[in-house]
Amino acid sequence: MEKLSTPFDDSALTREAIIGLGESSFRKNYYPTLQKKVTDLEQLNSKYRTLIETLPDILIIGSLENYSLFSPTGKLGNMAEEMLRDETVKAFLNDAVAVSSTEKKLITRNFEFISGGKQVFLEARVNHIEAEEALIIIRDMTEEGISKSRLSEMALQDSLTGLANRRCFEEALSKYMGKYCEKLSLIMLDIDGLKLINDNFGHLAGDQVIVAMSRVLKNTFADSECIARVGGDEFTILLTGREQAEIALLLKKMNSEIDKYNCEYSPITLSASFGYSFLPSGEADSRQLYLDADNNMYQNKLLNESSNRSGIVKSLMKALEAKDGLTKEHVRRLGKLAVLMGTRLALPQDKMDRLELLVKFHDIGKVGIPDSILCKTGPLNANEWKIMKTHSSIGKNIAESSTELKDIAELILLHHESWDGSGYPKGLKGEEIPAECRVLSIIDAYDAMTNYRSYRGVLSPSDAVKEIRANTETQFEAKMVDVFVDLINADLGAEGLVQS
């Protein structure tokens, strides 16, 4: 029988031979079509290979214990090879492949891996191809994992202090509610005078006080169940397993930490009112715990309010002296003049007392004026002058918050009124202006003119008196000017006053 074929010669493996399209082949009529299909397959193969190399993911194809790796080169490829050598990862992948093959569906699982000494968060998507074989795509989710972790922390953390927030605290407390507990305590704490600090020093200074308080609490209650900032100036501390005597010692330590801060660091006095509730044993009730702690804190606040606000006012004066180095000496000189003027005018004792306080605190509102305006060399422009004028109303607000200064709050507001009604802020005229303010306006002007100011030179006592005379019946009351000039000429002597 005639042979219909020749023996296979692998040396003749050419493109055409593979397809079977030699010149003598009876199939050569199909050559163009098959040639195009081969070309298409080659192009498709190139595209798939490029796609695999471009993907930022690790691709693995295989069955149990037998995996083929298709992954990018470089760092990700090295990590893929590390994973396939790791017995824990291999066991994880084997389990995922088995589940996907059994259930005939895509499954997604997350796992962690240590690569190069760093923890990596990964997502594995596993889909069956055929019995016990699957396509595995592994994606690096580290950035997403870190972002989610940060978001989770942010949701439970106060951004300013780093303490727990209200939500986190309520979750911590809820674990005990309705359950039998022993020695469960809730401490509530409120920063005194924070609104006063915010209004007069600015919210940045207020934030610094809040942060300082949080540090005190961290140092004091480091072993507590939870320390939280639950409001603008409110904090809570949850304690378990502490006797009341231990809580009292902790609160004493807290006060010592506050005193230490006030002595060493802050021009603004840090002060807090606090109260606590204590459940020796029994079923925990959050509403009752809050109510008892809040009531105790309120009582503590009433006891401390006067001294705390006084401390804040003193802090404001110290801050003003730090901003304006002239304040302390200016007040001292005005005090001497005020006593002499009040005596000559025969002011009753209550007005004398108010005048002396007014002399000391009339410019306290300047603590709220920006340094760029308060310390400016040269005249103020219209907008700066408008801001400067607000110091009298700021001063009034500060004084109203203090028991000691409440009586002179209105005097502080009016100490820049003028006899003819051209002053501010109300434009009062004549005897509508309190006597204490009329006295202060004269002695304050005299002292300002006869002592250095950044915005003008120093006048001699005689020139200052002439200037005051020139403004009689406009800025100053004539009768009081006469008394003041007599005082200067007869009792003190101009040069003596300036130097004393």
The CATH number of residue 205's host domain is 3.30.70.270
Taking Cα atoms as reference points, which of 414, 437, 426 lies closest to residue 365?
414
Assigned domain for 157 exists: no
Assigned domain for 473 exists: yes
Assigned domain for 1 exists: no
Same structural domain, 38 and 73: no
Quick one: pLDDT at residue 239? 92
- Whole-model pTM over 0.75: no
Instruction: Give CA separation, 176 vs 235, 284, 287, in Å.
Output: 19, 6, 12
Same structural domain, 337 and 483: yes
Quick one: pLDDT at residue 195? 82
Residues 144 and 121: beta-carbon distance below 8 Å: yes
Residues 195 and 131: beta-carbon distance below 8 Å: no
Residue type, 163: L
Quick one: pLDDT at residue 438? 96
Assigned domain for 158 exists: no
Which position has the higher pLDDT, 173 or 62? 173
Angle at 202 between CA 198 and CA 206, to 5 degrees: 50
Assigned domain for 6 exists: no
Same structural domain, 96 and 242: no
Quick one: pLDDT at residue 108? 87
| Residues pairing with 114 in the sheet | 119
Task: Please tell me the least confidently modeled range out of 194-198, 259-263, 312-316, 336-340.
Answer: 312-316
Q: Does residue 409 surpass a pLDDT of 60?
A: yes
Q: Over range 217-238, report the average pLDDT.
A: 91
Please spell the DSSP secondary structure of 226-260, one letter per residue. Answer: EEEE-SSSEEEEEEES--HHHHHHHHHHHHHHHHH
Helix axes 435-450, 327-344, angle to 10 degrees: 130
Q: List b or e across 59-84, with b for residues whose CB sees 16 or more CB atoms inside 10 angstroms.
A: bbebbeeebeebbbeeebeebbeebb
pLDDT-derived band of residue 477, with 50, 70 and 90 as boundaries?
very high
Same structural domain, 134 and 210: no
> pLDDT, tens digit, for every residue of 156-174?
788 888 899 888 898 888 8
Same structural domain, 427 and 445: yes
Residues 124 and 143: beta-carbon distance below 8 Å: no
Helix (H, G, I), strand (E, B) or coil at 434: coil
Same structural domain, 331 and 300: no
Residues 242 and 228: beta-carbon distance below 8 Å: no
Which domain covers residue 114, as residue numbers?
Answer: 55-145
Quick one: pLDDT at residue 471? 94
Domain boundary among 315, 349, 378: 315
Taking Cα atoms as reference points, which of 201, 441, 440, 425 lies closest to residue 313?
201
Q: Over range 352-375, report the average pLDDT.
A: 86
Q: Over range 53-69, report the average pLDDT.
A: 70
Same structural domain, 21 and 114: no
Domain boundary among 315, 345, 370: 315
Same structural domain, 338 and 446: yes
Same structural domain, 206 and 303: yes
Total tally of structural domains belonging to the chain: 4
Assigned domain for 357 exists: yes
Q: Does residue 267 surpass a pLDDT of 90?
A: no
Quick one: pLDDT at residue 102? 82
Task: Please tell me the least confidently modeled range out of 207-211, 311-315, 373-377.
Answer: 311-315
Same structural domain, 208 and 275: yes
Q: Does residue 342 surpass a pLDDT of 80?
A: yes
> pLDDT, tens digit, for every residue of 79-120?
777 887 888 888 888 888 888 888 888 888 888 888 877 878
Same structural domain, 355 and 490: yes
Looking at residue 490, the DSSP 8-state letter turns out to be I
Report which secondary-structure segment, H or E, holds 178: none
The CATH number of residue 121's host domain is 3.30.450.20
